[in-house]
Copies of this chain bind each other. A is one copy, B any other.
Amino acid sequence: MEEVIVRYIGKKPSLKNPILIEGLPGIGNVGKLAVEHLIENIGAKKFIEIYSKDFPPQVFINADGTVKLVRNELYYYKAKNRKQHDLILLTGDYQGLSSSGQYELAHTILKIAKEFNVKQIFTLGGYGLGREIKEPHVIGAATSRKLVEKMKSYGVIFRENEPGGGIVGASGLLLGIGKLYGFEGVCLMGETPGYLVDPKSAKAVLKVLDRVLNIDVDLTELERKAMEIESIAQQLKDLERAAREKSEDLQYIG
């Protein structure tokens, strides 16, 4: 069995210099949330499923009782007007479990990207700060100084030595290996506490991407999810405070 299996769903779409956008599970699930929202909102169509021996040996169970082997998926979108670009969107259930598997998967994605003549890559992710954030900024990294400057003009922030640990996983590798293969690319990282899934951070990332790519994405649904999560976070905090106060009362009494 091959390390990675690429399986076309239907026939190969014909795309013109598409832009590849990656959003796989990671910190705050920011990238995955953003790309999944994008896929749904613009009505992108699945055309490739990717299976790997480096994903967990696991099936998920769909709502109707059927099983689904864990995988990554590629969707495409054809530009609606001259300001837009054709898009290839990558999301999925997991990233590779091992270092070697991560490299193999990034390599596979980039081979597909080359085949479709991808001209630029955007990888989306979260930048975990471990503290609450009022308005998440979008931090960037890119394959060239020219792209760094271009992204700054869209409000993306570049801070020296941030993230300090670099970028780990698919969002980093697609740019890093991609650069070796001659691809241009940008990583957009939404600031996030990193405790819970973070639709607010995903929204911040998509807002920037929308400005760059003129996708005209409707962010209402992400806003609704963000409010839901904020309400859950508030409840958790209330519970914690109540528990703390109760334990303080007991100490006082004792």
Chain A residues packing against B (C-beta within 8 Å): 1, 5, 7, 51, 53-61, 63-70, 96-97, 99-100, 102-104, 106-107, 140-145, 148, 158, 160-163, 165-170, 172-173, 175-177, 179-180, 187
Q: Considering the chains assembled together, what is the distance between the CA atoms of A172 and B97 in angstroms?
A: 18
Q: How far is the CB of A149 from chain B (nearest CB, A)?
A: 9
Whether A64 and B99, one on each chain, are in contact in the complex, defined by CB atoms closer than 8 angstroms, is no
Further pairs besides A58-B166, A58-B176, A67-B143: 19, Cβ < 8 Å: A5-B180, A51-B177, A53-B99, A53-B104, A57-B99, A57-B170, A57-B172, A57-B173, A59-B166, A61-B163, A61-B167, A65-B141, A65-B142, A65-B148, A65-B158, A66-B148, A67-B142, A67-B172, A67-B179
Q: What's the number of copies of this chain in the assembled complex?
A: 4
Q: In the complex, what residue of chain B is closest to A146 when comparing beta carbons? A: B66
Q: How far is the CB of A150 from chain B (nearest CB, A)?
A: 11
**Contact for A66 among B141, B163, B169, CB less than 8 A:** B141
Residues of B within 8 A of A177 (CB): 51, 69
Q: Considering the chains assembled together, what is the distance between the CA atoms of A68 and B144 in angstroms?
A: 10
What are 8 sample pairs from A and B whose C-beta atoms fall under 8 A apart? A53-B104, A58-B168, A59-B172, A59-B176, A66-B143, A66-B145, A69-B172, A70-B176
Residues of B within 8 A of A66 (CB): 141-145, 148
With contacts A66-B148, A100-B54, A142-B67 taken as known, whether A61 is within 8 angstroms of B176 at the C-beta atoms is no
Q: Considering the chains assembled together, what is the distance between the CA atoms of A172 and B58 in angstroms?
A: 6
